[in-house]
Amino acid sequence: MQSNPNNQWNYSKIGADNYEDDVSSVNNIFVPYSEKDHQLTKKNKLASTIVPEPRSFRTYIAGICILLFILFTSIAITRHSFSSSSDVSDTVNDTTDDDNSTPYYSTANNDDNDNNENDDSNSIAYSEKGSLDFTFSRVNYEPLSFFTSEKSEIIKYNFLEDYVAVIEPYVEMEFYIEDDSSSSKYYKISVCEYDADTNTYTNDCSTGSHSSDSSFTVNLECNPYDEYAIIVESYKSTKSGYVYEDVTSRLGVCLYVRREIRTLTDDDLQAAIEAMYTMWSTDLEEGITLYGDNFKSSTYFVECHMFNAGQRDSDHFHEGQGFLPQHTKLSNLFEKSMQAVDPSVSLFYWDTTYDNYYSITLADNPMFQDDTFGSITDADGDGWDWSQTGMKYAKIPDGKWKHQKADLNKKYDDLGNSFGYMRGPWNFNPSPFLSRFASSSAQGMPGCSDYINQLQYDSYSSYLYSCAYAPHASIHAILGNIYGCELLEPLLDAGMIKDETSMNTICAKWGFKMKEWYRANAISRPDPDTGGCDAGDLSYDGVKCYVNCTSDIDYLNDLMEEHIGSQYVPSGFTDWSLWTDFVCNGDGYKIFQGKNISTLLCSTFLL
């Protein structure tokens, strides 16, 4: 039985206020993570111990599907300012060079004008001209390979073919040229707002200069897909100064750029983390007042996700073709909320193929450090179970999200769990904290093969449906994991489970089985207000609750057989009523999934 028999398209049920009305256009591009990036940033804690081999194609395969976590950028340009660290100091005369009738360019009176805007606001007809190869790169980052000699015919955005540069908004962008002879040249640069409808650019431009001993940078405030005419005048060095040589005109476009977490500078990573955390520390109404209508609190996303994923009729966000577009929309809304707080930041992503390939554990992963999303706490024993470890130890131990509380369900009467938290109705986790039942030594993140296999589909429909699984789902199991697997041991001893491997397999998928039974109208959770469930002290004896089961025992028994699976029970086992009793009258509800901070950002980082 499939949980979503009628859910091929995962239409949104809205849930969070204005979800369907929110703009979710893609205003960004995704930059694949390369080993060159890894070595250049020098910030990854693993850099001193790992010398990886190049894997640009492998990165591309992963990047295509890393979803959400992943192919994005946005925002743009309404105000601008150019700056140059220094100007060419040579002063030349307004004469000609040999037979060249073009006048020399004198820098003597240029210092005061290089970084100022012209007053003339008349429009000028634009035409592409010249042959100079140039682009802009974000300060402290390599130029985007889309615009350099390293440009790939595989890893590309077709719409960028019309441009020579992506201008990232609200950050310092530096003029970049690969020409080896550029050290003997001087450049005058103008960046002007361009109007595609009239094919003109304004004369109210930002201007500056660039040479071998001066670094020309620009910081623009822009809106996604704003276009700019970039006019570069080239001057060559002569014995008596610089003489005009040529002019090149090209277009640039304003977009955000999403980068892999390991490639971000410390300052940029922390700026993004700060913007994210503001969404947890500020409620929706206050945030809109402070930051504008694009602000969304973390609770907004939790409510939206729960309303659409927690319905009994079907999952409107997962297990269907809507997974990718719905989570892309969530990612875009999340990023826009970050940018409402700080317009200079972008959503970063996490390339798990890197961790998979080099067997990097969660303990060494940059996503889970005290300066990002908090360290991973290990169980105080052999595993996360009732007999050895209290679940209170599963809360985030450090960082900004230290001891982060789970959202209470204050909005949807028939959703949430029995203890009043915004968790799936099939999830009986009683902890008031965000819970990670993970291991710091955990590995097995989605790897290259998962993405390569994903790309083998020749049907777009099949591709959309399947991308939620191998390239994505396992990360939730690794980070959230399962609590209480030891409660299956008496069933193993009683001959209801074939062997220990089968027991571990059943437990790993227990949360999914409970969800299937919920969607099949076989089980339901007690009402949080009147059902009498009590979290107590979060110990085995302290937690009191139960599962409401349908009175159709035969139906329940059939579901047990279908979802537990005959391959995991001893040969000849037929008494499925024993499993029904465990779920409906026993400890079945005390086995449940944890959640991670990145679960909320699941479309976000990859997720």
Q: Residue 33 burial by CB count (10 A; 0-12/13-18/19+): exposed, middle or buried?
A: buried
Lowest mean pLDDT among 129-138, 160-169, 386-395, 575-584: 386-395
Segment 493-507 shows an average pLDDT of 96
Question: What band does 34 get if pLDDT is binned at 50, 70 and 90?
Answer: low
Say what the pLDDT of residue 596 is: 55
Q: How confident is the model at residue 14 (pLDDT cuts 50, 70, 90)?
A: low
The arithmetic mean of pLDDT across residues 30-40, rounded, is 58
- Reply yes or no on whether the pLDDT at 408 is more than 50: yes
Distance CA(574)–CA(597), nearest Å, equals 41
Span of 164-168, 330-334, 470-474, 509-513 with lowest mean pLDDT: 470-474
SS (H, E, C) 364-407: HCHHHCCCCCCCCCCCCCCCCCCCCCCHHHHCCCCCCCCCCECC
Q: What is the pLDDT of residues 51-60, one digit of tens each?
A: 223 334 344 4
CA distances from 8 to 41, 248, 343 (A): 42, 51, 36
Q: pLDDT: is 14 or 228 the higher one?
A: 228
The whole-number pLDDT of residue 16 equals 58
Exposure of 492 by Cβ count < 10 A (0-12 exposed, 13-18 middle, 19+ buried)?
middle
- The mean per-residue pLDDT over the stretch 109-117 comes to 39
* pLDDT(320) > 90: no
The set of residues, in sequence order, having a beta carbon less than 8 Å from that of 140 and lying 6+ positions away, is 265, 268
The pLDDT of 276-287, averaged and rounded, is 97
DSSP one-letter code for 258: E
Percent of the chain with pLDDT over 90: 64
In this prediction, what percent of the chain has a pLDDT beyond 70? 78
**Each residue of 69-82: pLDDT tens digit?**
333 333 332 333 33
* Residue 193 pLDDT greater than 70, yes or no: yes
Residue 62 clears pLDDT 90, i.e. is over it: no
Greater confidence (502 vs 7) lies with 502
Choose among 234, 218, 235, 119: nearest CA to 173.
218
Query: Across the chain, what does the average pLDDT equal?
Result: 82
> Are the beta carbons of 225 and 160 closer than 8 angstroms?
no
How many CB atoms are closer than 10 A to CB 554? 10
**Listed residue (136, 156, 138, 137) closest to 146, CA to CA:** 156
Above 90 in pLDDT, residue 477? no
Q: Identify which of 576, 528, 587, 527 has the alpha carbon closest to the alpha carbon of residue 553.
A: 576
Asked whether residue 4 carries a pLDDT value surpassing 60, the answer given is no
Tokens representing residue 494 in the block:
């009683």
Two tokens at 308? 């659409």
Residue-level pLDDT at 11 = 54
State residue 459's pLDDT score: 93
Structure tokens at 325: 């577009």
Res. 213 pLDDT band, cuts 50 70 90: confident
Q: Compute the distance between CA of residue 598 and CA of residue 602 in angstroms, rounded to an integer.
A: 6
Which residue carries 């059939």 as its tokens?
Answer: 558
Distance between CA atoms of residues 421 and 398, nearest Å:
22
The larger pLDDT score, comparing residue 106 to residue 489, is at 489
pLDDT at 500: 96
Of the candidate ranges 148-157, 161-170, 289-298, the one whose mean pLDDT is the lowest: 148-157
Which helix (H) or strand (E) segment holds residue 227: the answer is strand 227-238
How does residue 10 score in pLDDT terms, banded at 50, 70 and 90?
low
- pLDDT, residue 285, reads 97
> What mean pLDDT do residues 351-380 have?
93
pLDDT: which is higher, 164 or 596: 164
User: Which whole number is the average pLDDT over 538-567?
Assistant: 95
Q: Please check whether residue 573 is in contact with residue 560, taking contact to mean a CB–CB distance below 8 angstroms.
A: no
User: Looking at residue 390, what is its pLDDT?
Assistant: 72
What pLDDT score was predicted for residue 106?
34
Rounded average pLDDT over 133-141: 97
Tokens 């809360």, residue? Answer: 395
User: What residues are paired with 498 via a beta bridge?
Assistant: none
- Asked if residue 61 has pLDDT above 80, the reply is no
Residue 591, C-beta contacts closer than 8 angstroms, at least 6 positions apart: 482, 483, 484, 485, 487, 488, 507, 510
Q: Are 69 and 604 in contact (CB under 8 A)?
A: yes
- Is residue 520's pLDDT more than 80? yes
How large is the average pLDDT for residues 89-104? 35
Given a cut of 50, whether residue 84 has pLDDT beyond it is no
Q: What is the pLDDT of residue 180?
A: 64
pLDDT of residue 387: 82
Region 305-310: what's the mean pLDDT?
92
Q: What is the pTM of this model?
A: 0.83
Q: Is the pLDDT of residue 305 over 50?
A: yes
**Residue 102 pLDDT:** 32
In the predicted model, is pLDDT for residue 234 greater than 70? yes
**Residue 379 clears pLDDT 80, i.e. is over it:** yes
Asked whether residue 64 carries a pLDDT value surpassing 80, the answer given is no
pLDDT at position 46 is: 32
In this predicted structure, the answer to whether residue 187 has a pLDDT above a threshold of 60 is: yes
Taken in order of first residue, the domains within the chain and their CATH numbers are 80-139+166-252 (2.60.40), 382-392+404-437+467-600 (no CATH)
Q: How confident is the model at residue 109 (pLDDT cuts 50, 70, 90)?
A: very low
Q: Is the pLDDT of residue 367 over 60?
A: yes
Q: Considering only residues 63 and 453, tell me which one the structure prediction assigns the higher pLDDT.
A: 453
> What pLDDT digit, counting tens, does each position of 574-587 carry?
999 999 999 999 99
In this predicted structure, the answer to whether residue 380 has a pLDDT above a threshold of 90 is no
DSSP 8-state assignment for residue 53: P
3-state secondary structure 514-577: HHHHHHCCCEECCCCCCCCCECCCCCCCCCECCCEECCCHHHHHHHHHHHHCHHHCCCCCCCCH
Higher-confidence residue of 511 and 121: namely 511
Terminal-to-terminal C-alpha distance of the chain = 26
Banded model confidence at residue 351, pLDDT cuts 50, 70, 90: very high
